Structure formats: structure tokens, C-alpha cells
Structure 1
Amino acid sequence: MVVFTGLIIIRLYNEIWSNTIVIGSYFGATGTSSYYIAIVVFTLLTLAYTLKGGMSSSIMTDVIQLTLFVGLLTVILGFILPQYGGSLTPFVSSGRWELGQGLDLLLVALVQCLSYPFHDPVLTDRGFISDPRTTLRSYLWAGAIGSLCIIFFSFVGIFAKLNDLSGEAPVAVAKYFGVPMLLLMNLIMVTSASSTLDSAMASFSKLVSIDLGNAETPNVTTGRWAMVVLTVLGTIPVFFDPVILSATTISGTLVLGLAPIFLFWNVAVPRIAFHLSVVGGLVLGALLTFLPLPDALRLTDGKYGALLSTNLITTAYCFLVFFACTVFRTKNA
């Protein structure tokens, strides 16, 4: 439980800075005073209402965020698609289907989707307050709706590429269409970021006060202080100007060991199989991520070639040790 909790803490920690720097980019260039002020103000406002309302506030912003996102996304597509006569062909046919042209990152996503969802505290926390049947239906609908939203929102990035717009795609496209569109895009990103941020805070509060604390009589004050600590520590990376994508790619690599554990949950294995897969995957993934990867191990020279190679090597190790433990247990049964 402690090891699994550690993985969740890594995820929640990354959720703080990765969402706040998105907001900062709408108010100024990275590193400027307006950029940092916007981040601090946004973070404190979100912390304030989450301290008061906890998960209830978080769920409320989730509903608001989904409603606004779907509505405003429709408006944005109404601006973008007519630029090409309403045809999707320019979007679908843009770019090249090659490893070095983004396919490597897609493959990383496919590898990580076997483990990444299993350490999403936002999903699991909501699951524990509903009955299993309702939870299952919610997950299935959320998966379908979320996938469609991601696909259609990616058209914003493709539009930016087709028109050689520099900077963060949502910001660049919004500015391209003028102030009204910029305000709409701001509204989408602010509600989306706050919805994720307050969920991370509420989940960390539950983790400290209930999961690692006293589940029988959880201390609300302890949970609130946990939110404050996470917010302060999670904001520190902002001042080192990290890359947004690294929040998911790195943490996703560190939890690859969860894949065999959850995918083969009904396979009898010794306790050591969990630690060899999860802890071993965490260590190996960290080493391959933060240390230079030898050229001989890189599958492609593309931007995400090293990341793809790291994920494949770590995943192969995790499944190998898991099934090795299974074979060992069978022989000694």
C-alpha cells in the first residue's frame, strides 16, 4: 500500500505545476512577472475554495468544466473548420505517418495506457463514492466522451501547425481569431485546469487523512493542511520552467510496473512479484529517463525516440519479472 501510495503522490505532485503553467501562458510569456503572478493567483484561488468544499467542490467544477468544454469546443470548431470549407481532409492528411513525426509519441501513449489509468486517484476516489455498477457505467461513458473531446480538441493544434502559428497551440489559435475567441479559449483552459487542480488537492487530502491516516475518524484539519503542503511543493517546479508534457510522460514511465499487476490480477504470484515489477519499473524507468540513453537503444532519432525506447524496455522488464515469478511459483507449488 505504501509503494502504491508513493506512485499516486508522484502523480498528484505533477498535476499541480503542469496545470498552473497552462494558465500562466495565457497571461504572459514564460518567465515573465505576469506569467508567475497569474499562476500564483490562480493556484491560491483554487486552493481557497477546495479547502472549503473538498471533494464536493471538486465534483461541482467537474460538471461545470464538462459543460463549458463541450459547448465552447463546438464554438471553436465552428471557427476552425469553415477555414477549409468544413472539410476534415486537411486535418486528417496533414503531417507524415512516421516514427520521427509524432508516431513515436502515439506509441508511448499506447504503452502507457496499460498502466497509467490505474494510478489515477481522481478516477478511483469518485469510484469509491458510488456503487460498482454506476462506477462502471461512468467510466465507460467518460472514456468515450473524453476520447472524442481529445480528438476534436487536437484539431486546434493541427490548425496551428497548418498556419505556422508559433507558441502554445490553444493560445496561438485563439489570438489568430481575435479577442472574443481568446476569451472563450481562456474560459475553457481556466475551468479545465481548475477542475483538475482541485481534484488533485482533494485526492491528496483523502490520501493523507484516510488512506494513510485513520479511516474510521479522518481528521479534516489534517486533510486541509495536506492540500496546502501539496500546493506549495507542487508550485516550486513552475519557477524552473518545465515542459508541460513531461508531467505525464515521466510519471507515466515511472508507473509502468502497474500494468502486469492489474492486467493479470487473477494470476496467483508471490508478493515479491509486485515489488519487482512496480519498484523495479520505477527505478529502471527513472534511470532510463534521467540519464542519457545509448544511441544503440534508441528506436528512432525523432523527438520522442528515447522516450519510446525507455517505455518499451521498462515494460518488457516489468512483464518479464512478473511472469518469471509466476513460473517460479508454479514449479515450487
Structure 2
Amino acid sequence: MSAAAPWVVLAAYCAVTWWVTPRSVDSRQFFDGRTRSGAAPGVLLVALSAAVTWIFAKSITNAADLAYAFGLTGGLGYGLYYLSFAVAGVAIYLLRTRGGYRSLAHFLVGKYGVVCARLFLLTVAFRLFNEVWSNTKVMALFFGPEGSGAYWLSAAAITAFTVSYAWSGGMRASLMTDRVQTVLAFVLLGVVLAVLFPGLESKGLPEVSDSVRQAGLTFCLLALVQVFSYPFHDPVLTDRGFLNPPRQMLKSFLLAGVLSGGFIVLFSVIGLYAKSFGLPANPATSVPAAFGLVMMLVFNAIMLLSGGSTIDSTFTSVAKLTARDWNASSGEPDARHMSRGRMAVIAIAVLGNLPLFTIYLGDRAGPAIIAATTISGTMVMGFAPIFLLPWLKPAGPLSFHLAFWPGLAFGVLRTVETFAKVQIFPADLALGVGKYALDLGVNLYGLLICTAGYLLGAALAPRRHAVAVPAE
């Protein structure tokens, strides 16, 4: 019965999701999430959708792991990344109200040119690629050990089912399923916390040393530095910034930040519980294992809800990037766009899961899920001035390149350090304490360099540079 139970949960998840999915949509519903009558989605619907799509399966696992490693500051630090909603919300609100832009690609073409826009989109594509395999992996691990038959079968089943409704319904299907997935995820989290809090209250929070506490605070500072650039490379978030009117969008984003950030911080309690009771590392599996089958199934359901919502939104964003953003289409979508988008969904479903087949030498099989966040997050530090300082009228392509390329270089070099086990950045760059001290130094100094490059580009740019294109 225990071996079959996760598959029962998967079947229930598929049934509920399919029940709320629209069977057929037109092109505006597919890309813009409109109702059949053409109305824009409301404040609450966009908020719930944005919230659950950022409650990644890998993120709630990371939050629990960080709380296990650093105590209370670990979970709080990961929660600080959800300030991204406020940063992105305000930036997109200004782009829409002051420039009339209909997407980030539309803005980039108008401000910096087609080449710059496509460089941005390639970076975004890398992010979307990472979202597929990393979330699929987290969900599949609840069905069996990595590499087992159950692991591969569940990964294939989850992917195929998500493709089926993302292909047919696009953004409208994503919004409608996200609403139900959000409610169910919070209900299940409430069940978990109701079980864990009495024990944690009697045992108390885990004690950590001063050095561990300082290392956790270092991670908090890293999150605060990255939050100024991190949201802009995630179209799962930013695409939702153009679905409803600007003022409603801003309200949706602020509410989504509270909901998803609160969920992540509350879920990190699992890591605190595991640490207090001396359970093994990887609390997302060790805690439910300590309580038996029912708790394991609850965790399995949470992972399916969070991971599924992220993957279907990823597929939808890939469809939009391929069919509309690459050519900076800001007009009304048509049937040709929808056909191209649907082909892109199938392509990313296959390509995005290829890293699951990668076998590393040594005792690791497949890529680590934290890599999907740390690699892309550092590479995009140059996006902060590009999207937060567009009011500098002389800033144009030169400013973009002087911000974009240094940030990308810093991220690539840091990735090489991590995976090749070589030292490139001098230890003197480290700020703070612990394993994230060098990351903090690289990101802070890198952000300053990228911002200085952007300002230098504005100072050197010809004054006749066209600042914007009129909105269509």
C-alpha cells in the first residue's frame, strides 16, 4: 500500500487540476490569461497565481535545508527573496504607466535595441530551462530514489500531464489551476504546522553557534543584494505583470509577495523541527518519514502542487518567449502565435528534462537543485540598473552592455569555481561569515561594477539616443 500511495496522490492531483482546466482557448486567453469574454484577470486571481508559481518545489526544499543549516536566519533569509515581488511590481508599474510598454521585451527593444533584448531573452531561456528539471527532480524523488524505475516513471508522468493542459490552455489554464493549487497548498501547510508546532514548542528552537548565526545573516544580506536583479530574469513572475491594469497589477504583486514569502518562511519550520529533534539532513524527506505514511503523502501533495504550478507556468512563459517576445510582438496575438507557442511547450518539456539524465562522477547523480537558483541568480546582477534606472535618458545599448556582460562574467566564473573546485575570486572579496561570504562579496561588488558601467554608458552615449518607442 505504501508504494502505491504516492501514485494515488498523483492521480488525485491530476484529476483536480484537469477539472479546473479550460478545454479550449483563443489566442488572447492562451497568452494573456483573458476570460472568454475578453476581460483581464482580477487582482486576486493574478496574486494567487503569482504566489504559487514562486512557491517552487525546489524553493520550499531549499528553505527547509537552510533553516536546518543556519536556524531561524536560514528560513528568513530565503524569505527575503520574495521582496522580488515589490521590486518587480514597482518597476513594471512605472514601465507600463510612463512608457506604455506591454512586455519586458517591448521595453528592451524600445530602450536598448533588438540585440540587447535578445541577449536578455537568452538569459531568461536559461532560467526557464533550469526550472523544468529542478522542479521535476524534487517531485520525482517522492516516488523513489534517484535513478529508480519509480523515479523515472513519475518524472515522465508529471511532465506529460503538465504538457497536456499547458499545451491546450496556456496562461488561462495556468491561472485557473494556480488558484486551486494555492488554496490546497496552504491547507496542507496548515496540517503540517499543526502537527509540528506542539513538538517544536516543547523542544524549543535549535541552538546554533555564533558563527553559524553570522553565516545565516550573511545569507540574508546576499538575498537582499540579489533581490534588486533576481526577479527580472524570471518570466514566470514578470509575465504576470502585464495581465491586468497597472494599478491592479501592483496590488496583485504586493499581495503575492506576502502570500508566497509567508509560505516559504512557515515551511522552513520543517528544517527547524528536524534540527531540534536530531533528524537527518534533507528535512523535506526526513521529517515526514519520522511521522509515517500520512505525513509523507501530505508532503508529496505539497511538492506536486508547488512544482506543478511552476512547471506549467514555465511552459507558458516559454511559449510566449518563443512566439511573441523574441520578435518583440506587442500587438494582439493570433492563431499563428499560438501554434508556435504550443510547439515550444513540447520542445522545452523534452529539452528541459535532459539534465536529469546527467550522471556526475563520484557520489552525486544528476544536478543539485540548489544550482538552478545560485547559477542563474548571480549571472543576472546586471539586470538591476537595466530595469531600475531606465529613467536616465541617455542610457542606451552601451549602458546595457556595460551592465550585462560584467554581471554575466561574474556569474560564469563563480559557477566554474563551484563545480570545478578551483579558486578564481580572491578570498579577500568575501564579506561576512560562512559558505555564502564569497557569494555576498562577489554579488555586492559585482552589482556596484554593473551599476557603474551602466552610468558610464549613459555618460558616453550620444545625446540624440532615442529613449523609447511609442506604445502600440
Q: Do they superpose with TM above 0.5?
A: yes
- Which whole-Å CA distance do the structure 1 matches of 2:140 and 2:171 have between them? 25
Q: 2:199 aligns with which of 83, 86, 89?
A: 83
CA contact (8 A) 1:69 1:188 kept: yes
Paired position in structure 1 for 2:183 = 67
User: Does 1:137 find its partner at 2:247?
Assistant: no
- Which whole-Å CA distance do the structure 2 matches of 1:331 and 1:204 have between them? 36
Task: Report the secondary structure of 1:10's partner residue.
Answer: helix
CA contact (8 A) 1:277 1:319 kept: yes
Paired position in structure 1 for 2:265 = 151
> Structure 2 vs 1, CA of residues 300 and 33 (structure 1 numbering), >3 Å: closer, same or farther?
farther
- Which whole-Å CA distance do the structure 2 matches of 1:17 and 1:143 have between them? 25
Paired position in structure 2 for 1:246 = 371
Matching residue's letter, 1:145: L
- Which whole-Å CA distance do the structure 2 matches of 1:71 and 1:137 have between them? 23
CA contact (8 A) 2:142 2:300 kept: yes
- Which whole-Å CA distance do the structure 1 matches of 2:381 and 2:181 have between them? 30
Q: 1:29 aligns with which of 139, 145, 152?
A: 145
Paired position in structure 1 for 2:404 = 278
Q: Quote how far apart the aligned CAs of 1:313 are.
A: 3.3
Q: Quote how far apart the aligned CAs of 1:99 are.
A: 7.0
CA contact (8 A) 1:65 1:188 kept: no
Paired position in structure 1 for 2:154 = 38
- Which whole-Å CA distance do the structure 1 matches of 2:435 and 2:410 have between them? 21
CA contact (8 A) 2:430 2:441 kept: yes
Q: Quote how far apart the aligned CAs of 1:167 are.
A: 4.4
Task: Report the secondary structure of 2:352's partner residue.
Answer: helix
1:184-195 equivalences under 5 Å are 184-195=298-309
Task: Report the secondary structure of 1:102's partner residue.
Answer: helix
Paired position in structure 1 for 2:101 = none
- Bigger drift between 192-201 and 26-35 goes to 26-35
- Bigger drift between 56-65 and 16-25 goes to 56-65
User: Does 1:267 find its partner at 2:392?
Assistant: yes
Give CA deviations for 1:191-218 in whole Å, capped at 9, x if unaligned.
1100000000011001111122565534
1:201-280 equivalences under 5 Å are 201-213=315-327, 216=332, 217=334, 218-240=336-358, 241-268=366-393, 269-280=395-406
- Which whole-Å CA distance do the structure 2 matches of 1:69 and 1:136 have between them? 24
User: Does 1:6 find its partner at 2:138?
Assistant: no
Paired position in structure 2 for 1:15 = 131
Give CA deviations for 1:6-43 in whole Å, capped at 9, x if unaligned.
12111111110110111122122233332222222211
The runs of 5 or more residues in structure 1 that have no matched partner are none
- Which whole-Å CA distance do the structure 2 matches of 1:243 and 1:180 have between them? 27
- Which whole-Å CA distance do the structure 2 matches of 1:40 and 1:313 have between them? 42
- Bigger drift between 142-151 and 36-45 goes to 36-45
Give CA deviations for 1:244-270 in whole Å, capped at 9, x if unaligned.
111111111111101112222212223
* RMSD of aligned residue pairs (Cα, Å): 2.5
Paired position in structure 2 for 1:303 = 435
CA contact (8 A) 1:23 1:39 kept: yes
- Which whole-Å CA distance do the structure 1 matches of 2:218 and 2:120 have between them? 28
Identity among equivalent pairs (%): 38
- Which whole-Å CA distance do the structure 2 matches of 1:103 and 1:31 have between them? 36
With normalisation by structure 1, the TM-score equals 0.90
- Which whole-Å CA distance do the structure 2 matches of 1:18 and 1:210 have between them? 26
Task: Report the secondary structure of 2:144's partner residue.
Answer: coil
- Which whole-Å CA distance do the structure 2 matches of 1:94 and 1:63 have between them? 38
Task: Report the secondary structure of 1:182's partner residue.
Answer: helix
CA contact (8 A) 2:398 2:458 kept: no
Paired position in structure 1 for 2:448 = 316
- Bigger drift between 228-237 and 293-302 goes to 293-302
- Which whole-Å CA distance do the structure 1 matches of 2:190 and 2:326 have between them? 43
Q: Quote how far apart the aligned CAs of 1:332 are.
A: 11
Task: Report the secondary structure of 1:219's partner residue.
Answer: helix
CA contact (8 A) 1:289 1:307 kept: no
CA contact (8 A) 1:165 1:172 kept: yes
Task: Report the secondary structure of 1:238's partner residue.
Answer: helix
Task: Report the secondary structure of 1:90's partner residue.
Answer: coil
